Amino acid sequence: MTGRLIVISNRVHASEGGATGGGLATALSAALREYSGVWFGWSGRTVGEFTGQLSVQRQAGVTVSTIDLEAQDVEEYYNGYANRTLWPLFHYRVDLAAYERSFDQGYARVNARFADTVLPLIEADDFIWIHDYHLIPLGRELRRRDVRNRIGFFLHIPWPARRLFATLPNHRELAEALFEYDLVGFQTEDSLQAFREYIVDEVDGVIEAGEAQAFGRSCRIGAFPVGLDAPGFEAAARSQAADTWTGRMRESLNGRQMIMGVDRLDYSKGLEERFLAYEEALTTTPEAHERVFLLQIATPSRNEVPAYQEIRARLDAVSGRINGAYATVDWVPIRYVNRSYRRDELAGIYRAADVGLVTPLRDGMNLVAKEYVAAQDPEDPGVLILSQFAGAAEQMREALIVNPFSREEVADAIRRGLAMPLAERRRRWEVLVHGVRTEDVGAWRDNFVDALKTAPPSDLPATSGL
Ligand code: GDG
């Protein structure tokens, strides 16, 4: 393509093998490798006073350009508006959403700072691709600075139901900011539908053939489900390190079956509900005692936000209680691990698991579900249990789809998964892995960038006379 791709996201983590900063980083670092362009964002460092000083490096084959932020920025923009207001609200936890004016101010200030500092990097024929809920107003800030390039926005988390979004003070202003983009992408048809309903029913907009018109402007909208770097992940699953870990896990199984979960330690991932559903399976299936265990890897995340400290304490308590109630001298029903593993190690552990248990209460996509499938042994694949509220459920219909709020349903699926005959496991896995390979991260990037290139410019006034 002509013109470079400039990717902008809150954090920049180009990495190939090590522990990661979560799903967005994993996806973007794979998408940008071997692609001409720049990845711009916050370094993760805090400084006494904002300088706008850019630091440019090559990381894992990607040119990255980062800035440092002030402590107040991090508190109000990142820990505040992004992670205490938008994240809970967009994950249906309106009870946890905090609305504080200082957060709004910090969010606006940091978006303006991003715009000021990225501006000198932008050349006339570049395409700009902005990511996620931290940076919704960035397109508007760039337009105010006279940037005429094509600018796209992709939301990695769900778009909430209309009335939920309307609980956000200034929700119209935030939605209006999306109309500064030429293209706005969502993970799923479900999110796209929720956005349509908001635009049509709440702000009297019009949606026609992939184009939204409201606030006197128009922009293209679409669903672009994010995928894995499938060849990279499959190669990691076949590596020496993965093999060592598969072997190590199998040895420690001692003939037992393993159920596995991997998540950032986040209340949206449904970990407490998952532990309780597993307990339900133990209570109602005494013959499974000592013959199965749950390995839950939960990497601590957003430690400075109180709701994350609370969920961590609850999970310690619930896993401790279940282990106390059921453990025997040589069996612990839950192995609960709060550290992170390298990607190849993780792939090896996934491969040793009979069941992948992915039960978020709400999730934009969920890449763990796809990684679990990609890591399986084709001759003897495990079973994926997947929440109906993960975006991935729209694509992964051959998983055992469950309601994560129902302990009985999840417990039934666990029993069914552990007992599933090889022929059925293979049949389901073949369909799933085909999807993971074809709808991969490269397809996601290409579909989005192609749509961005062909989108009509957003600065045309809406045609319906709104
Ligand atoms: C957001 C959206 C959307 C976890 N522990 C370790 C580790 N991880 C990696 C996983 C996976 C990633 O983190 C988690 O990705 P998810 O997609 O499951 O979830 P979020 O972090 O919430 O990501 C989500 C995503 O953005 C992309 O659009 O799918 O819905 O919420 O890749 O493997 N990686 C390593 N060690 C760990 O211990 N190496």
- The pLDDT tens digits of the residues spanning 334-343 come to 999 999 999 9
pLDDT of residue 44: 93
Q: Is 157 in the pocket of ligand 1 (CB under 6 A)?
A: yes
Sign of the CA dihedral running 7, 11, 12, 17: negative
Query: Is 371 near ligand 1, meaning CB less than 6 Å away?
Result: yes
User: Is ligand 1 within 6 A of the CB of residue 24?
Assistant: yes
Does residue 293 contact residue 249 with C-beta atoms inside 8 Å?
no
Are 38 and 63 contacting, i.e. CB atoms less than 8 angstroms apart?
yes
The three-point CA angle 356-382-248 to 5° equals 85
84-107: per-residue pLDDT in tens?
999 999 999 999 999 999 999 999
Q: Residue 294 C-alpha to ligand 1 middle, in angstroms?
A: 19
367 Cα: distance to centroid of ligand 1 (angstroms): 6
Nearest atom in ligand 1 to the alpha carbon of residue 226 is 28
Ligand 1 centroid–CA 101 distance in Å is 30
Task: Report how far ligand 1's centroid is from the alpha carbon of 349 (Å).
Answer: 16
Q: Is 297 in the pocket of ligand 1 (CB under 6 A)?
A: yes
Is the CB of 343 within 6 Å of ligand 1? yes
Q: DSSP states of 210-268 as a string?
A: TEEEETTEEEEEEE------HHHHHHHHTSHHHHHHHHHHHHHHTT-EEEEEEEES-GG
- The architecture that CATH gives domain 232-438 is 3-Layer(aba) Sandwich (3.40)
Please give the backbone phi and psi of residue 68, each rounded to the nearest 5 degrees, phi first. Answer: -95, 155
The pLDDT of residue 63 is 86
Residue among 413, 343, 405, 361 at smallest CA distance from 384:
413
CA of 27 to the centre of ligand 1 (A): 9
**Quick one: 376 exposed, middle or buried, by C-beta within 10 A (0-12, 13-18, 19+)?**
buried
Residues lower than pLDDT 70 in the chain: 1-2, 14-24, 26-27, 30-31, 33-35, 458-466
Tell me if 366 CB under 6 Å of ligand 1.
yes
- Closest ligand 1 atom to 18 CA: 39
Is the CB–ligand 1 distance for residue 158 below 6 Å? no
Residue 346 is predicted with a pLDDT of 96
Q: Please tell me the predicted confidence (pLDDT) of residue 455.
A: 86
CATH class of the domain at 5-227+443-453: alpha beta
Kindly give the number of the ligand 1 atom that is closest to the alpha carbon of 343: 39
264 Cβ inside 6 Å of ligand 1 = yes
Which residue out of 11, 20, 302 has the highest number of ligand 1 atoms within 8 Å of its CB and is therefore the one to mutate? 20
Catalytic residues: 156, 363
**Could you tell me which residues are beta bridge partners of residue 224?**
none
Question: Which pLDDT score, from 0 to 100, does residue 464 have?
Answer: 39
pLDDT the model gives residue 434:
98
In a mutational test of the pocket of ligand 1, which residue from 9, 24, 188 has the highest number of ligand atoms less than 8 Å from its CB?
Answer: 24
Token pair of 347 as six digits = 């792939």
Looking at residue 34, what is its pLDDT?
56
Domain spans in the chain, listed from the N-terminal domain onward: 5-227+443-453, 232-438
59 with 51: CB under 8 angstroms? no
Q: Kindly report whether the global pTM for this prediction surpasses the value 0.85.
A: yes
Q: Which pLDDT score, from 0 to 100, does residue 29 have?
A: 73
Beta-strand pair 62-70/55-59: antiparallel
20 lines ligand 1 (CB under 6 A): yes
226 lines ligand 1 (CB under 6 A): yes
Task: Judge if the beta carbon of residue 10 lies within 6 A of ligand 1.
Answer: no
Reduced to 3 states (helix: H, G, I; strand: E, B; else coil), residue 68 is strand
Pocket test for ligand 1, best of 368, 370, 441 (most atoms within 8 A of CB): 368
The pLDDT of residue 28: 73
pLDDT reported for residue 23: 60
C-alpha distances out from residue 34 to 54, 123, 241, 389, Å: 23, 20, 25, 33
- Any idea what DSSP says for residue 81? I
Q: Best mutation site among 11, 157, 365, 371 for ligand 1, i.e. most ligand atoms within 8 A of its Cβ? A: 365
> What integer pLDDT is reported at residue 16 of this predicted model?
53
Would you say the CATH fold of 232-438 matches that of 5-227+443-453? yes
* Dist. CA 455 → ligand 1 center (Å): 30
